[in-house]
C-alpha cells in the first residue's frame, strides 16, 4: 500500500501528464508547419484544384495518382507539379491535357497559392 504523501504525488504527476496530452508545443507546431510546407501530396491536391478552375468541365476531371506525376520541392515552400488531367472539352469529348503548376505555401496564411499554371 502507498502512503498518503506518495499517492498524492502520484495523482498530481498523472494529472500533469493528462493535462499536457494533446496540447502541441511550439516545437511540435513548427515541425507540423515544416511538414506542411514540404508536403508534396498536399501541394498536389492544391495544384489539382487550380487546374480544375481552368477546365471547361471541372467535374469531369480525372487526375493520376501522386506517384504518376512529376513533383519537385524547390525550397522556400514552393513546389512544381507536372502531370496530366483527362476531362471533357467544350464539345463533350474527353481529352488529355498536360499541366505544369507551381504553388507556394504561405506559412502566415496557412494555405497554398498559385504561382504559375500552364495547361496544354
Task: Give the pLDDT mean for 74-99.
Answer: 97
CA-to-CA distance for 30 and 117, rounded, in angstroms? 29
**Rounded to two decimals, what is the model's pTM?**
0.73
Strand positions, DSSP E, the chain: 70-75, 78-88, 94-106, 111-119
pLDDT of 9 reads: 55
Q: What is the residue whose three cell numbers read 514540404?
A: 38
Distances (CA, A) of 7 to 17, 19, 34, 77, 80: 15, 18, 42, 50, 58
The domain spans of the chain are 1-38, 39-120
Lowest mean pLDDT among 12-16, 31-35, 36-40: 12-16
39-120 CATH: 3.10.450
Amino acid at each position: 500500500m502507498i502512503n498518503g504523501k506518495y499517492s498524492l504525488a502520484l495523482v498530481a504527476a498523472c494529472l500533469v501528464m493528462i493535462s499536457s496530452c494533446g496540447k502541441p508545443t511550439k516545437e511540435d507546431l513548427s515541425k507540423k508547419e515544416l511538414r506542411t510546407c514540404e508536403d508534396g501530396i498536399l501541394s498536389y491536391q492544391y495544384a489539382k484544384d487550380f487546374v480544375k478552375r481552368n477546365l471547361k468541365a471541372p467535374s469531369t476531371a480525372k487526375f493520376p495518382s501522386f506517384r504518376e506525376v512529376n513533383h519537385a520541392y524547390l525550397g522556400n515552400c514552393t513546389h512544381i507539379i507536372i502531370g496530366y488531367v483527362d476531362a471533357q472539352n467544350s464539345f463533350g469529348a474527353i481529352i488529355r491535357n498536360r499541366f505544369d503548376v507551381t504553388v507556394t505555401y504561405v506559412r502566415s496564411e496557412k494555405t497554398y497559392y498559385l504561382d504559375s499554371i500552364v495547361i496544354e
